[in-house]
Chains A and B, each alone.
Chain A
Amino acid sequence: MTATDIRPTTDGLLTASKTPIKRSYGQYIRWLLLFLGGIAMVMPIAWMISTSLKWPHEVYNLKLIPDEPTIENYTYVLEDGRFYGWFLNSIVIAMVTTISNILFDSLVGYTLCKFKFPGRYIIFIAILSTLMIPTEMLVIPWYIMSQTFGWLDSYWGIMFPGLMTAFGTFLMKQFFETVPDDFLEAARIDGLNELQIWWTVAMPLVKPALAALAIFVFLGNWTAFIWPLIVTNSPEMYTVPVGLSSFGDEADVAWELIMTGAAISTIPTLIVFIVFQRFIIRGVVMAGLKG
């Protein structure tokens, strides 16, 4: 039994008085519509996988099931010895940035939310404003910076712009708003210092947000293209998207390989999603805590 069974849904409570048949009828319709909606959402991905299983001459015949399915594309991509290096690079970078974001974005979000001090709103807007400059324009100054400090072609060079994000900060700030101040006060009275309060009291209460943040930061860094492309020189340092782009050149885009690459790339993000989404499900069952 998952936590969802324990959590009372409004439907279950309020329609208890209605006849059982009617209740489950509505439930079935809802489930069916959601399921069909899900299928519709996934259709393009089905086509992507289908294309990745096709020989080049079948790529444009647009059938969902290829006449001659093949895993040749997958073996081609995976047997390329460099692929595993790219994969490792991507994993390391995505993991480090995710952890960094979870720590720093929540710290900043918490501070901007729960501490009242002069300049608080300005800092929030200032951080938010960093979302308003497209990455494309930041790439050149970052490159010059990396070149000056010798960060080119290194893990640090690829990672540093993404260690903290306004997106994460904003998200965490909004979720910390839902944490009642009373808890924090109680902890202060108990003698905990601010850092302890943040870590032991506030953080556990926003787990769903942290899980969501982890998923998005991982995903964002996993799929990042422009900056890793510019800052890396040697093929050993490429991340997966950069490496996959080398399968095409100015004239020839091998779509079946791109689809294969896309399919393979989705797997780690899928794993991260499956692992972390449980925390979003469990949510916070706070029965009896709030007065």
Chain B
Amino acid sequence: MTNKFKAFVLGSAISAATLAASTAQAVEIEYWQYFFDARVSAMEQLIENFEAANPDITVKMTHFPYADYRTKVAAAIPAGEGPDVVQLFYGWLNDYVDAELIQPLPSDVFAPDRIDAEFFPMVQAMKDGGHYWALPTAVRSLALFYNERLFEDAGIDGPPATLDELVEIAGKLTQHDGAGNITQVGITTGMNAQDHHWFREVLVRQFGGEPYADNYQTVNYNNDAGMAAAAFYTGLEQEHGVTAAGFMDEPQAAFKAGMAGMHIDGSFRIGSLNKIRGLRWGVAELPAASDGTQSNYSSYWVNAITSKAEGERYEASVKFMEYVTSDEAMQIWLDVVGELPAKPSVGMTEANANHEVYGPFIRGLAYANTTIFANESAQRQVLMDMVQRVGIEDQPLSEALAIAAEAEQDILDEYYAD
């Protein structure tokens, strides 16, 4: 009896000791992202799963409103307020690397070759100096939204597969009133929305060019290919009259109001379109060029480990990064947030690749490119101005294009100067 008793006491003492030891080793890491209902829910789920699998790590999530998220993070980190793992937009990577705010992902766990193979190609933009600095859980791409009811009414079978078909179908969908004012556009256009991405990464390539050279440091669309692409785009309004800039204030408004036949937009639009009762819409891959060339633009938010994470917190952060870039995490993200998985292993499953809504977006990822911007809003403004010079000031397209290319090159030059 005494032996058993001793064994019992010893056993409980040992287990108490190990319990104390493991709680003493519990690490807490901090994660920051911007606030959006679905993303926060999804991340909470991921954190729950992660903490269950790793009982000695807790993750504390802090989120901020999207407005000025970048300024918020930029002000906080240098003031010493940083998280261990931070979410940032892919376009900010260079700034964050230069400022030494984040550290590269360890090459043993995140071997560049393996990442290259496992993720969609455009994620390679996150690689610098031989290792990866950040990885996305989810990505976005562009596709062609179309209004099914308007298509039926006009007797059109299905969405256009080529650019020529696009123009033709748009023509059938455009309507005017008695006084000649446009009341329904065949396709929406607006460089302020996603069209500037469509121009850069899709149209320019489809007309035989490459929008940038030297790893996005040199503007390369002031040539025949660029001219052809720009002529196609501005031609939609000027020549074919199938669209009107500023119609219904912004492209997505026109589409939501049921006054546009087609609309090119990103996968993030799906959520808000679902809320519009009575709008029957479908999605198709972006039209191919007449020679079959397809291209797409993909953007993404990535997670990275900050330079503040050291020792135990660093180890915990690496494990966390591993989990949030796992297949399981991506599927959860797709289901909860509706953002596309960053890996073909998740994206190209039967169910996902042929999904009615997500399918066209996911299939587009296989041939998508990601622009490395120096200052996205300034570079977007350059193309907006180009279209307005042609539309409002009647400037010849070749001049407007040249001015745009020069202005954008100035932006890039200044950014890469140091």
Contact = CB atoms under 8 A, between A and B. Distances in A.
- Is A–B contact present in the complex under a CB 8 A cutoff? yes
A233 B67 contact: no
Contact of A56 (B248, B269, B272): B272
Interface string A208-234: 000000000000000001100110011
A170 B340 CA distance: 56
A233 B278 contact: no
A152 B63 CA distance: 15
Contacts of A249: 34-36, 66
A252 B79 CA distance: 31
Interface in B71-115: 71-72, 75, 79-81
A56 B275 contact: yes
Interface stretch (A103-111, A125-133, A139-147, A154-162): A139-147
Interface in B39-80: 62-68, 71-72, 75, 79-80
Nearest to A256: B275
Interface in B264-303: 266, 268-269, 271-272, 275-279
Contacts of A43: none
Contact of A226 (B68, B278, B279): B68
A111 to B, nearest CB: 36
Interface stretch (A112-120, A195-203, A240-248, A260-268): A240-248
B277 A250 contact: no
B276 A57 contact: yes
Given A233-B64, A245-B65, A143 B272 contact: no
B188 to A, nearest CB: 13
A82 to B, nearest CB: 11
Contacts of A143: 75, 79
Contact of B65 (A59, A61, A229, A251): A229
Contacts, number: 69
Contacts of A61: 257
Which secondary structure characterizes the binding site on chain A?
helix
Nearest to B268: A251
A254 interface: yes
A154 to B, nearest CB: 14
B81 A147 contact: yes
Interface in A23-73: 55-57, 59-61
B276 A56 contact: yes
Nearest to B279: A57
Interface residues of A, number: 29
A281 to B, nearest CB: 39
B378 interface: no
A248 B62 CA distance: 18
Nearest to A55: B277
A60 B276 CA distance: 11
A230 B272 contact: no
A60 B35 contact: no
Contacts of B253: 60
Given A60-B256, A147-B80, A246-B35, A252 B276 contact: no
Contact of A233 (B62, B271, B277, B279): B62
B75 A140 contact: yes
A152 B72 CA distance: 12
A242 B65 contact: yes
Contacts of A234: 62
Nearest to B79: A147
B67 A245 contact: yes
A180 to B, nearest CB: 49
A235 B257 CA distance: 33
A238 B66 CA distance: 13
Given A147-B79, A233-B62, 14 more contacts: A56-B272, A60-B253, A60-B257, A143-B75, A144-B79, A152-B81, A230-B68, A233-B64, A235-B35, A242-B65, A245-B66, A249-B66, A250-B34, A251-B269
17 contacts: A56-B256, A56-B276, A57-B275, A57-B276, A60-B248, A60-B256, A147-B80, A229-B65, A229-B72, A230-B71, A242-B65, A245-B66, A248-B66, A249-B36, A251-B266, A251-B268, A252-B268
